[in-house]
Amino acid sequence: MAEKLLEIKNLKQYFNQGKPNEVRAVDDISFDIYKGETLGLVGESGCGKSTTGRTIIRLYDATDGQVIYDGVNVHDKKSKKDLKEFNRKMQMIFQDPYASLNPRMKVLDIIAEGLDIHGLVKNPKERKEKVVELLETVGLNREHADRYAHEFSGGQRQRLGIARALAVNPEFIIADEPISALDVSIQAQVVNLLKELQEEKGLTYLFIAHDLSMVKYISDRIGVMYFGKLVELATAEELYANPMHPYTQSLLSAIPLPDPDYERTRVRKSYDPANHNYQDGEEIAMREVTPGHFVYCSEKELESLRALSSSK
Amino acid sequence: MEKILEVKDLELSFHTFAGEVKAIRGVNFDLLKGETLAIVGESGSGKSVTTKSIMRLLPEHSSEFKNGQILFNGKDLTKLTDREMQKIRGKDISMIFQDPMTSLNPTMPIGKQIMEPILKHRNVSKSVAHKEAVDLLRLVGMPKPEARMKQYPHQFSGGQRQRIVIAIALACNPQVLIADEPTTALDVTIQAQILELMKDLQKKINTSIIFITHDLGVVANVADRVAVMYGGKIVEIGTVDEIFYNPQHPYTWGLLSSMPSLDTAEEKLYAIPGTPPDLLSPPKGDAFALRSDYAMKIDLEEVPPFFKVSDTHYAATWLLHPDAPQVDPPLAIRERMKKYPGSRYYEGTEGGTY
A63-83 in b/e form (b: 16+ CB < 10 A) is: bebbbbbeeeebbeeeeeeee
Question: How far lies A213's CA from each of A197, A223, A258, B188, B332, in Å?
Answer: 21, 14, 11, 11, 16
Classify residue B251: in a domain, yes or no. yes
Whether B296 and B193 share a structural domain: yes
Whether B218 and B136 share a structural domain: no
Indicate if the pLDDT at residue A301 is higher than 60: yes
* DSSP per-residue letters across B69-98: EEEETTEEGGG--HHHHHHHBTTTEEEE-S
Whether B87 and B111 share a structural domain: no
Smallest CA-to-CA distance from B205 within B235, B249, B159, B174 is with: B174
Question: How far lies B324's CA from each of A296, B294, B317, in Å?
Answer: 58, 11, 10
Chain A residues close to B190, C-beta within 8 Å: 44
Instruction: Locate the chain A residue with the closest alpha carbon to B223.
Output: A260
Higher pLDDT pick, A76 / B237 = B237
Mean pLDDT, all residues of chain B: 89
Give the sheet arrangement for strand A64-69, strand by strand. Answer: A23-34, A4-15, A64-69, A72-73
Q: Where are the beta strands (DSSP E) in A76-151?
A: 90-93
Contact between B194 and B182 (Cβ < 8 Å): yes
Chain A residues close to B187, C-beta within 8 Å: 44-45, 210
Q: Is A182 helix (H, G, I), strand (E, B) or coil?
A: coil
Each residue's pLDDT tens digit, A93-136: 988 888 899 999 999 999 999 999 999 999 999 999 999 999 99
Each residue's pLDDT tens digit, B47-99: 889 999 999 999 888 899 999 999 998 899 999 999 999 999 999 999 998 87
How confident is the model over A228-252, as a mean pLDDT? 93
Residue B185 — very low, low, confident or very high, per pLDDT cuts 50/70/90? confident
Smallest CA-to-CA distance from B142 within B175, B165, B116 is with: B165
Q: How far apart (Å, rounded) are the C-alpha atoms in residues B129 and A95? A: 43
CB-nearest to A251 from B189, B195, B215 is B189
Classify residue B98: in a domain, yes or no. no
Chain A residues close to B245, C-beta within 8 Å: 260
Best of B157, B161, B189 to mutate (most A CBs within 10 Å, chain A)? B189
Each residue's pLDDT tens digit, A140-160: 888 899 999 888 888 889 999
Q: Go through the domains of chain A in sequence order and give each one's CATH number.
A: 4-227 (3.40.50.300)
Whether B228 and B154 share a structural domain: no
Whether B150 and B238 share a structural domain: no
Indicate if the pLDDT at residue A1 is higher than 70: no
Whether B230 and B120 share a structural domain: no
Chain A residues close to B258, C-beta within 8 Å: 184-185, 187-188
Contact between B330 and B247 (Cβ < 8 Å): no
A38's enclosing H/E stretch is strand A38-42
If interface means Cβ-Cβ distance under 8 Å, which residues of chain A face chain B?
Answer: 44-45, 153-156, 183-189, 191-192, 195, 210, 212-214, 216-217, 237, 240, 250-251, 254-263, 266, 268, 270-271
- Predicted TM-score of the model (pTM): 0.84
Domain end position, chosen among B125, B148, B171: B171
Best of B215, B221, B268 to mutate (most A CBs within 10 Å, chain A)? B221
Q: Tell me what percent of the residues of chain B surpass a pLDDT of 70.
A: 96
CB-nearest to A185 from B192, B255, B268 is B255
Residue B275 — very low, low, confident or very high, per pLDDT cuts 50/70/90? confident
Domain end position, chosen among B149, B171, B193: B171
Classify residue B97: in a domain, yes or no. no
Whether B195 and B312 share a structural domain: yes
Interface touch A184/B216, C-beta < 8 Å: yes
Interface touch B187/A44, C-beta < 8 Å: yes
> How close, in Å, is residue A68 to chain B by CA atoms?
32
CB-nearest to A254 from B189, B220, B261 is B189
Tell me how many domains chain B contains.
2
Q: Residue B124: give the domain boundaries.
A: 103-171
Query: Out of B140-154, B204-218, B264-278, which region has the weakest mean confidence (pLDDT)?
Result: B264-278
* pLDDT the model gives residue B77: 93
Pairing of strands B225-230, A172-176: unpaired
Indicate if the pLDDT at residue B290 is higher than 80: yes
Contacts of B112 (CB under 8 A, 6+ apart): none
Whether B122 and B239 share a structural domain: no
Whether B262 and B323 share a structural domain: yes
Contact between B205 and B170 (Cβ < 8 Å): yes
Residue A147 buriedness (CB in 10 A; 0-12 / 13-18 / 19+): middle
Classify residue B309: in a domain, yes or no. yes
* pLDDT the model gives residue B159: 85
* pLDDT the model gives residue B96: 92
| ipTM for this prediction | 0.80
How confident is the model over A170-181, as a mean pLDDT? 89
* pLDDT the model gives residue B261: 67
Angle at A82 between CA A78 and CA A87, to 5 degrees: 105
Q: How far apart (Å, rounded) are the C-alpha atoms in residues A8 and A3? A: 14
Whether B74 and B150 share a structural domain: no
Residue A295 — very low, low, confident or very high, per pLDDT cuts 50/70/90? very high
How confident is the model over B263-284, as a mean pLDDT? 77
End-to-end CA distance of chain A: 25
B119's enclosing H/E stretch is helix B110-121
Interface touch B42/A186, C-beta < 8 Å: yes
Query: Out of A164-173, A272-281, B68-77, B300-309, which region has the weakest mean confidence (pLDDT)?
Result: A272-281
* pLDDT the model gives residue A106: 94
Domain end position, chosen among B139, B171, B203: B171
Instruction: Locate the chain A residue with the closest alpha carbon to B275.
Output: A186
CATH of the domain at B217: 3.40.50.300
Q: Tell me what percent of the residues of chain B surpass a pLDDT of 90.
A: 54
Angle at A260 between CA A259 and CA A264, to 5 degrees: 120
Whether B229 and B80 share a structural domain: yes
Whether B204 and B274 share a structural domain: yes
If interface means Cβ-Cβ distance under 8 Å, which residues of chain B face chain A?
Answer: 42-43, 158, 187-192, 195-196, 214-221, 240-241, 244-245, 254-256, 258-262, 265-266, 268-273, 275, 339
